[in-house]
């Protein structure tokens, strides 16, 4: 067992499971690792679907920060979008396979770094207080409650004053089991399980991480070809110094 950058215990078997899952054919995760569309995008020429995913709750000013960080970056599929806005980008992932592929593809891009959440733990934590914004795309709603709380807490440490955190979550519906715990037998890397964590618990974790402002918006992406098309975005910010 080793502690990752979120303070969670991760076994070698779990890392292997994530590597296997990453290489198993999930669209846009590993299979397109050597395609031209992973090259940094010049200016603001963002693909419409990527722009909708990330910019829906954010302003251009939010993205124009010295350093953007992505949790669950995979092979860097969304790095070009971040690099078109921010001065630098750091992607974090638990799959050593995905991180290795991202480093290969972006090896000549000085503004991009890719770090493993376990093996590069110290390097990630060295960035405390320097990050301008943290996001995850198709990421946070795959985290059971205990991991989600730890990730929110770590984001609070990594962000500098006025930095923001964007959570992509599943809305709460009556037909979705509202469980704070992982399903019985769930193992990290064993599947892309989605979790519906009650917002009250999210708000408690946000407040505990030192965020002073949080907004919650629901978005429905009708043009998406895959589910879930309805997303629950929570955007929270660190207060300026002295508040």
Query: Would you say residue 62 lies in a domain?
Result: yes
Q: Please report the DSSP string for 169-187 in residue order.
A: EPPP-TTS---SSPPTT--
**Spatial separation of the C-alpha atoms in residues 149 and 168, rounded to whole Å:** 14
Q: What is the pTM of this model?
A: 0.87
For residue 109, what pLDDT is reported? 87
Domain extent, residue 157, equals: 2-237
- The pLDDT profile of the chain, 243 residues, written as one tens digit per residue, is 799 999 999 999 999 999 988 887 555 455 454 454 455 544 444 555 555 556 677 888 888 899 999 999 988 888 888 888 889 999 999 999 999 988 988 888 889 999 999 999 999 999 999 999 999 988 999 898 899 999 999 999 999 999 999 998 887 654 444 444 556 678 888 888 888 888 888 999 999 999 988 888 877 776 666 667 777 889 999 988 766
- Residues 5, 11, 17, 19, Cα dihedral to 10°: 50
Query: Would you say residue 243 lies in a domain?
Result: no
The CATH code of the domain that includes 135 is 3.40.50.150
For residue 177, what pLDDT is reported? 46
Number of domains in the chain: 1
For residue 213, what pLDDT is reported? 80
Query: Would you say residue 228 lies in a domain?
Result: yes
- Tell me how many degrees the CA angle 212-195-127 measures, rounded to the nearest 5: 45
Burial per residue of 139-166, b for 16 or more beta-carbon CB atoms within 10 angstroms, e otherwise: bbbbbbbebbbbbbbbbbebbbeebbbb
For residue 8, what pLDDT is reported? 94
For residue 27, what pLDDT is reported? 52
Query: Would you say residue 61 lies in a domain?
Result: yes
For residue 39, what pLDDT is reported? 53
């Amino acid at each position: 067992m080793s502690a990752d950058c979120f303070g969670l215990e991760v076994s070698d078997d779990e890392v292997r499971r994530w590597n296997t899952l990453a290489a198993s054919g999930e669209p846009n995760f590993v299979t397109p690792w050597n395609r031209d569309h992973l090259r940094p995008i010049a200016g603001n020429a963002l693909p419409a679907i990527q722009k909708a995913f990330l910019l829906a709750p954010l302003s251009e000013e939010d993205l124009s920060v010295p350093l953007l960080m992505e949790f669950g970056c995979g092979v860097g599929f969304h790095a070009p979008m971040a690099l078109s806005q921010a001065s630098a980008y750091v992607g974090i992932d638990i799959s050593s396979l995905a991180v290795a592929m991202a480093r290969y593809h972006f090896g000549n891009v000085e503004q991009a770094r890719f770090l493993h959440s376990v093996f590069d733990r110290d390097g990630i934590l060295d960035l405390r207080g320097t990050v301008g914004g943290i996001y995850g795309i198709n990421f946070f709603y795959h985290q059971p409650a205990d991991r989600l709380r730890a990730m929110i807490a770590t984001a609070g440490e990594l962000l500098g004053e006025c930095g923001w955190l964007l959570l992509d979550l599943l809305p709460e519906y009556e037909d979705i089991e509202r469980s704070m715990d992982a399903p019985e037998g769930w193992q990290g890397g064993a599947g892309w399980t989605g979790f519906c964590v009650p917002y009250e618990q999210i708000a408690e974790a946000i407040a505990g991480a030192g965020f002073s402002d949080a907004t919650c918006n629901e978005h429905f992406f009708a043009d998406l070809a895959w589910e879930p098309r309805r997303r629950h975005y929570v955007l929270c910010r660190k207060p300026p110094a002295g508040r």
